[in-house]
């Protein structure tokens, strides 16, 4: 217990400067403006080439069309709905943090904002169809492991953002990445026959739907609003840190609980990491 408390105090103390500067940033967050630029279109890709007969024997151009034609859902997705759900949730999420959001048809107004101005370009958005390997398992008779493997259909929404702070020679443009997914839903349990000891896995499989994909777009937009806010906050910390030191922690601001905590994997992936 003593070691646990000591370790916790070390972690909290090691990023005390970051926390102090993050609190400074929270005092000026309502002065932040973001120009949010959409992608030109939505990319679609299908990784399930094993479903295509003689895939390796057809040309590259035909392979791309074959992947789309053999997809379970890609042909049914409306790009405009994906973008509207995604960008609508992204804008709403940013405004919850007090950020002033400008869109591509409001550039003139954006050019008149103060020094805390950022351009956030959703440079690429990809809907990717693939497989989510899932294993259900349970131990019976104290030592025997029973399991069933499933390949669930999965849709990933992959996002690449270009984020740059304007009118600041110290700030660099960054390309960051995040992904989110939805899959078929499987619910089940193992049962044991009391008479013969036979073990069976009884389950119900609910295939993912097109509406699940639109919901994924909305939840991704809301999540990445938080990621963008944290990115701006951590860039503020980095640019204002003492010259002889570098931040040890990348922080997340939990808006609901008003807490600053280590972001862990709740953040963008920097493509140079």
33, 113 Cβ separation under 8 angstroms: yes
Quick one: pLDDT at residue 11? 46
Residues facing 203 on adjacent strands: 188
Q: Give pLDDT tens digits along the chain (273 positions).
A: 444 444 444 444 456 889 999 999 999 999 999 999 999 999 999 998 877 777 777 777 778 778 888 888 999 999 999 999 999 999 999 999 999 999 999 998 898 887 789 999 999 999 999 999 999 999 998 899 999 999 999 999 999 999 999 888 778 889 999 999 999 999 999 999 988 889 999 999 999 999 999 999 999 999 999 999 999 999 999 998 887 788 889 999 999 999 999 999 999 999 875
**Is 190 among the domain residues?**
no
> Residue 51 is part of which domain span?
2-127+153-178+210-270
Structural domains of the chain, count? 1
Global confidence as pTM: 0.89
**Is 140 among the domain residues?**
no
**Is 21 among the domain residues?**
yes
**Is 133 among the domain residues?**
no
Quick one: pLDDT at residue 273? 59
Measured N-to-C along each axis, helices 210-239 and 79-96 cross at an angle, to the nearest 10 degrees, of 40
**Is 135 among the domain residues?**
no
* Residues whose CB falls within 8 Å of the CB of residue 222, separated by 6 or more in sequence, listed in order: 89, 90, 92, 93
Q: For 60, phi and psi rounded to 5 degrees?
A: -60, -40
Q: Which tokens belong to 5?
A: 């408390």
**Is 145 among the domain residues?**
no
Quick one: pLDDT at residue 51? 78
**Is 195 among the domain residues?**
no
**Is 91 among the domain residues?**
yes
Q: How far apart are CA 44 and CA 72, in angstroms?
A: 12
Q: Is residue 264 helix, strand or coil?
A: coil
Quick one: pLDDT at residue 272? 76
Quick one: pLDDT at residue 80? 97
């Amino acid at each position: 217990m003593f070691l646990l408390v000591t370790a916790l105090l070390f972690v909290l103390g090691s990023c005390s400067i970051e926390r102090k500067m993050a609190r400074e940033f929270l005092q000026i967050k309502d002065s932040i403006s973001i120009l949010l630029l959409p992608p030109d279109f939505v990319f679609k890709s299908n990784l399930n080439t094993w479903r295509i007969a003689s895939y390796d024997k057809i040309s590259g151009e035909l392979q791309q069309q074959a992947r789309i034609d053999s997809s379970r859902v890609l042909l049914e997705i409306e790009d405009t709905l994906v973008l509207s759900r995604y960008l609508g949730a992204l804008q709403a999420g940013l405004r919850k943090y007090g950020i002033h959001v400008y869109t591509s048809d409001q550039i003139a107004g954006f050019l008149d904002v103060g020094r805390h101005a950022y351009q956030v370009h959703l440079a690429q958005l990809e809907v990717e169809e693939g497989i989510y390997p899932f294993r259900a398992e349970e131990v019976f008779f104290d030592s025997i492991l029973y399991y069933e493997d499933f390949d669930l259909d999965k849709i990933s929404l992959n996002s690449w953002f270009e984020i740059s702070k304007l009118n600041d020679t110290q700030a660099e443009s960054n390309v960051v990445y995040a992904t989110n997914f939805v899959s078929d839903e499987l619910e089940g349990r193992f049962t044991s026959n009391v008479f013969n000891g036979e073990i069976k896995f009884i389950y119900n499989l609910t295939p993912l739907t097109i509406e699940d994909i639109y919901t994924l777009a909305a939840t991704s937009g809301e999540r990445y609003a938080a990621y963008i806010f944290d990115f701006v906050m951590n860039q503020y910390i980095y640019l204002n840190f003492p010259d002889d030191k570098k931040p040890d922690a990348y922080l997340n601001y939990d808006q609901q609980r008003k807490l600053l905590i280590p972001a862990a994997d709740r953040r963008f992936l920097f493509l140079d990491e």
